[in-house]
Structure formats: C-alpha cells, structure tokens
Structure 1
Amino acid sequence: MPDDVEAALPRAVALSWGVAERPQRGPKRELSIERIVDTAIAIADSDGLAAVSMSRIAGDLGFTTMSLYRYVTSKDDVLALMQDAVCDVPIPPDDEDDAAPDWRQGLREWAMASIHVIEAHPWFPDIPITGVPLMPNNLAVLDWGLRVMRALPLSHAEKMSVALLLSSYARAVGIVERDMRLSRRDDAPPQNGEAFVAALGELVTPERFPDLAPLVGSGAYVDDGSDGQDDFAFGLERILDGIERYVAAREQGEELSPAPERPEAVPNDKTVREASKARREAEKALREARKRERETIERARERIQRETEKAAREAERRGR
C-alpha cells in the first residue's frame, strides 16, 4: 500500500483498513488495537458511551493510559473504530442468478439491520456523524443496500438518496425506540399507567387540542405495544410505497417533478415568536367561536324541532 494512501486518510480510517503502520508489540502481545476496541465496546454496552475514556479502557485492560497512545492517537479514533466494529453485520450473499430480486424485501432487511445494531448497542447513534462513510464495514453495508437497488432504473445519485432516506429513518426510529425502552425501566417514572393516562386526558381537552384529544382518549397516544401497531414497519412500508411509485414512473418514462427547494428557515426573532403566539391564540379563539356557533345552531335546531312537534300536537288536538 503506497505511503500516500495512509497519509491521506484519518488515523482511525487507516487503522480500520489495515493500511496504518502498527506499533511493535511486546513479547506477550498483550495489547492490540482489537483488544482496545473490544474493551471500549464492552464498557459502552455496560455503562453507556459517556463511560468510555482512555483511562477507563486502560484500567480495564491493566495498562497505563499512555500505553494506548502507541496504538491510537485519540479517543476519537477509538469511537470511530467502535462504530465500524459493530457494523460488521451479516450480509446476505449476492444471488446473481436471481433475475428479478425482491428489492422491497431487500431494502426492508437492509433498514432493519440498523435497528438491530442499535438494539444490541444502544450507544451506537450517540457517536456523532462526521462525514460520509469511510470505514470498511460501513461501506460493506452501504454496498449491500446499493446491490439491492442494482436493477432499479435509478441514477447513482437517486440510489444514494434512497439509501440516505432509509438509513436516516431507521436511525431516527431506533433512537426513539431505545429511549422509550429506557423510559420503561423499573426506576423510571411510569408513563403508561392508568393514572397517568387519566391525568393526560384531563389536560388534553378538545377545546385546546381538537384533533389530539380523541386520539388520547382512545389510548393510542400512549403506546404500550398492545395495539399491535409496529410503528417502524408501518412507516417503512409507506416509504417503500413511495419509492415503488417513483420507480414505476421511471420505468414508464413519466416526467417527474423536480424536488422543490427547501423553504427558508423562520427567523428566530422576538417579533416572529410574538406573531406566532398571536396566530395560535387567534386560531384557538376561532375554534372556540366555531364551537359556540355549532352549539347555538344545535340548540336552535332542537328548539325548532320542539316547536314543530308542539304545533303538530296542537293541530292534532284541534282536529279531534
């Protein structure tokens, strides 16, 4: 491997690819990059990512902190290598004989792999994303996703956009599911008990939250898993529906509308916040006025109905 390749790569990336020069180990070969990374992963799995430090890793291994720096230049190197190590997931073999692979099922499995990594290593999404994937296991997973889309009539850029869409969705749901699991620990305050749900129902009134209140009242807002709804699977299928529609349009040669430009961000300004607050208050007043209008109309109808029935009874008596 040319020296300029190693020089062009960050230290952790060069280490992951095996193109970085490694220090000579002692006669017992007690310390290595692999042992450092495995120990860091064990610490994070047990105590969270915040517990991972060079001193903690060295202590667990029985070495001095300075000895680690013969192998890695910083904690950031360790974090990057940890991230790549846990991305060494089982990848289905490439079945080139399959003329019409089920790309939906393939992408479904590809997206689920991200969820499985977060389930096994809850700290995984806490490692910041600092750029495009460069590590071998990360790139192997990306290559798997692109292989699933090999036969689709999409450009390279479109395939990358699909991969980003699905991986971002899986990552976001994985974080939410992880945090929800943590909230259900024995020492966490209950957020799905009957008392909690009843209290929430008192606060979320139809007058203030006209569309949310019925959902809270139905019990669907507090997800305890009893409704049989898999939120990840539901969202994933809707995304795949959209991709399938896009692919079909490509195959039929339909003109597709270009993606619109992103709207400008709302200025973080006091006058804008005050205007937004005034709008919300006006919308609330409008909802209340409409409610009073509906109630007045309903009372008028009831009054007319009573008067009509009374007139009919009087007419019936006179007819006798």
Structure 2
Amino acid sequence: MGVRVLKGGMLTTVQDLGRTGYQSQGFGVSGVMDVRSFKIANLLLDNPENEAVLEFTLMGPTLEFTSETIIAITGGDFQPQVNGKPIKNYTAVYIHRGDILSFRGARTGSRGYIAFSSYLDIPVVMGSRSTNIKCSIGGYKGRRLMDGDYVGFRIKRRYLPYYLSRTLDLDEFDQDEVTLRVIMGPQDKSFTTAGRKTFLESEYTVTSEFDRMGCRLEGPFIAYKTTSDIISDGIAFGSVQVPSHGKPIILLSDRQTTGGYAKIATVISVDIPKLVQRKTDHKVRFQAVTVEEAQQLMQDELHELQEFRKQIYQPCKEVLDCRLVAKRLTKLFQD
C-alpha cells in the first residue's frame, strides 16, 4: 500500500514544515521551500497542516500506485498526467491501484508538491519527516528518491469530507519578474547609504546557482563600509547575505545554521514562494517594508487560506438529508 518510484525526477524529497529547535546543535531546519503551496496541497485533502509531501524540482517524478488513494498537486504547473491523461493542479484527484502519475515539464514555476490522503509512511526524526540530505537524516533514508524506491502509506483513506469543490483555480508563478518585500537588517548598517540604495533600486537576475540551500543573484555591486565579514551568527529562512563580491545570496530551506557574512535584509515569509518558484534568468527586485507590515501580510495570507477552506469544505445539506432518509428507511424496514 503505497507508491513505487519509477523515475525519481531531478530532486524529489519528502518534506514537511521542517525540523525546528535544533539549529543550536548544527542541524538545519530543512522543510518545504514553498510553504504556501505545501499548505494548500494538504488543505485540498483535509490533511493535517504539517503532513509530509513530496517536493520535486524542475522535473517531476514518475510514480506507480499500489493502492487507491487521493492526491493533490500544487506549486508550479508541471503538466501532470495519470496514465497519460492530463489532470489539473490544485485539485483533489482519486487514484486507483496501478495508476501511473507522471509530468511533462514545467510550464510555470520550478517546484511542485504532491500530497496524499493516505499519509506517507515516513518515520519522524527529531520532530519532523523532512529530508536533510547534508546530514542524511529524515525523509526516505535521508536522501532524495531514486528509481526503484518504494514509499508506503500509513493509513487507508480514500474519501474526503463534504465539499463544494475540490479545485482551486490558481496559477501564481507565470511572472518572469517579481518584487520581493524585505525587512532591512540585521546588519544593513554594515553597508554604505549608496549600497543600501543600490540593493533596493536595482534589478537582479536569478543565476543557475539556485538550490534548496540558497539562490545567488547577479546584478549591481552592493557597497559595504569596511568589510562584509562579521562574527558568525544565526541565519533565518530568507536571509539576504552579501559576501565580499557584493552580490546578494538569499538563503533558503537547507541553509547553514550560522554564517559569517553581513545580512542586508530578510525576505518576508509570504514572499519566499515567489522566489523559490523562479527560474534561471528571471528578474528580482527588492522593496523594504516594516515588521508590522510583514505581520499584517502574514495575517492576510492566513485569512486567505481560511477562505480557500470555506470554498472547498462545507457541510452539504443535501448529503446530510440523504443520510437522514437512509436511516429512516432502515428503521422502517426493521419495523
């Protein structure tokens, strides 16, 4: 009862929201790159918010199902297919035993997510099922999925609660240029006034050096006052480091726990999905916001997710009425 990996894709790993509380011991958080797409995938299946999914990059896996289940695919549009027939993103799809899920290629975005109603049978390590490839812990044997692997399910769950619609009409990653909102600091004072102005007013290009650890950008030199070196301190998801070459590097899920380069800013949580779904040569700009504005934007996103749930799941009067009728008929026949 599970999925057989016929093709592992370029980088397919098991991820959830990450392994928190261990950075002081040198263990990175890991976890999904695009938290928004991850949450929507689980929402579509009425899964627990932190249920593990498969995250894939640039090229999706090919999976054969050995039992029935329900899946939802979110993130970039990789043109998913079941048995060679197209299926929709952001939709709960019933899967039969023997079905084969495959992907044609990334039409938009660069990362996708597959959630399962039957829950992946992956052990919890230090509070998370996320894969930390560097440390070879968590996920499936601490590594990416490869051809021939088999991932089981934990439960049999082949139904969903009452719903109005199983589909959300979303396609969020078709832009070649995005503006990332940032909170300046914690070491923005290490840079000159002109350097900070360059950072906020210039256009940067996503380079090929872009993985789960970070994204290196190419663009105008960001001038610092004396040196970009600092005493190493902790690194947050979305920290923008500027080493001595003066070009920003945005640190992501598999970032190191500490770093010794000055951080000019941090990308706010709600905008990180915009970045991680970019491709090489896409353009990025930065816009400074306050902590209060970032907090309000996060509240707005949580409210939006609640509205999505209302669109999908609501008690359906007709279904409830049918159940009452069935009970009355059963009682009538028993009498």
TM-score tier (shorter): under 0.3
Give me the TM-score of the superposition, normalised by structure 2.
Answer: 0.20
Structure with higher strand content: 2
Structure with higher helix content: 1
